[in-house]
Structures are given as structure tokens and as C-alpha cells.
Amino acid sequence: MSLIYLLSSLPMLKFGTAPSVTAETFAAACREQLGNADAEAVEAVLNSETCSHPFVVAWQDRETILRNATARERARLTGTDSARWLRDAKGCDMRIEGMVDDAFQESDPLRRDEELDKIRWLIADELQGPDPLCKNAVFTYAAKLAILLRRAALDAEKGAAEFKKMTAVRLPDESAEPSQDDKL
């Protein structure tokens, strides 16, 4: 296992830019350089899968806290109850709650999503801790890579086409014969 080699060979990740490494390439490097449990933890973070590894458990708990806060904010904005969307979290982090509240001050949904991802980025940094050459740095890299890959996959044209498809209202054809339901 060569943690130092792995960490030194990784390209830098910067929020707001497309990553220069794929999830597959990174996961393969981790399988070569880390033990099985740590490589599985990396893949669990990349793929949002459950795993008993302490970093993954902590990451997913913070993600649950963030998602619960997001559900509460969306429910507040729409005047609905968020209870059905909330999931059990082991911890509590009022700072995440406050940051989500701040993110929801943004009226543009795309910018709001970006602010939520910035919170995730910060959470990943905090879970890494102060040592840049520890195993948690690899897991943090996986979390940040997953964030950047998801953001890079966003496509404005595809999104607009999907929105148009979802919101299209079919108006009845005036030249067509009215159906039995229309006559009632």
C-alpha cells in the first residue's frame, strides 16, 4: 500500500471546474494502492452506496443531515409538510442546517444547487481533518470527485428539454371529433 504515492499522483480538484480524472480511473488506482476495505470505501463514496467504513458512515450521516435540511426548506417554500422526506440521521449539525437555510436564500435553483454542493465540499474537507497525507484525504478526494462529476454531467440543453417535456400541456385538437368524455 502506497498512500503517499496515490495522494501525490492525483490531479488537483477545484470546485467549479470539471475534473481531469474519471471515477473509474480513480477507483482503479485506489484498488491498486489501498487495502480492500479502503478501496471499497472509496467506491462507496463515489457511488453513494452504504458501507460500514467509518468515513463513509460519517459522510453519509452528514449527507442525510443536509438532505433533511433541504427537504425542510423546500417544504417551507411550498407550504407542505416535510415529514415524509426526512430520514434518520445519527448526528445533528445545526451549522449545516444554517448553511442550507442560507443556500435557500438564492432564488435561482441552479445556483442554490451549487451552494448545496459547496456545503458538501466543506463537509468533505472537515471529515478529512488537518493531515493532508492521511487515508481520509483519499476518501475526501472521492467525495469531491463525485461532486464535480455530478456537476459536470449537468447539461442546460438536456435539462431544458426535460423541463419542456415534463411541463408540456397537450391541448385538445380542435379539428378532432370530441371524445365521449368531452361530451359529458
Give per-residue pLDDT as tens, 133-145: 999 999 999 999 9
Q: What is the pLDDT of residue 181?
A: 57
129 within a domain of the structure (yes/no):
yes
22 within a domain of the structure (yes/no):
yes
Q: What is the pLDDT of residue 178?
A: 60
Q: What is the pLDDT of residue 2?
A: 85
Q: What is the pLDDT of residue 19?
A: 95
3-8 CB contacts, 8 Å cutoff, 24+ apart: 3/33, 3/34, 3/133, 3/134, 3/135, 3/138, 4/133, 5/33, 6/30, 6/33, 6/34, 6/138, 7/132, 7/133, 7/137, 7/138, 7/141
Q: What is the pLDDT of residue 172?
A: 66
Q: What is the pLDDT of residue 167?
A: 83
29 within a domain of the structure (yes/no):
yes
pLDDT classification of 173: cutoffs 50, 70, 90: low
Q: pLDDT digit string (tens) for 51-91?
A: 999 999 999 999 999 999 999 999 999 999 999 999 999 98
Distance CA 129, CA 97 (A): 21
| Domain count along the chain | 1
97 within a domain of the structure (yes/no):
yes
Closest alpha carbon to 117 in 129, 138, 103, 105: 103
5 within a domain of the structure (yes/no):
no
- Which residues constitute the domain of residue 119? 17-157
98 within a domain of the structure (yes/no):
yes
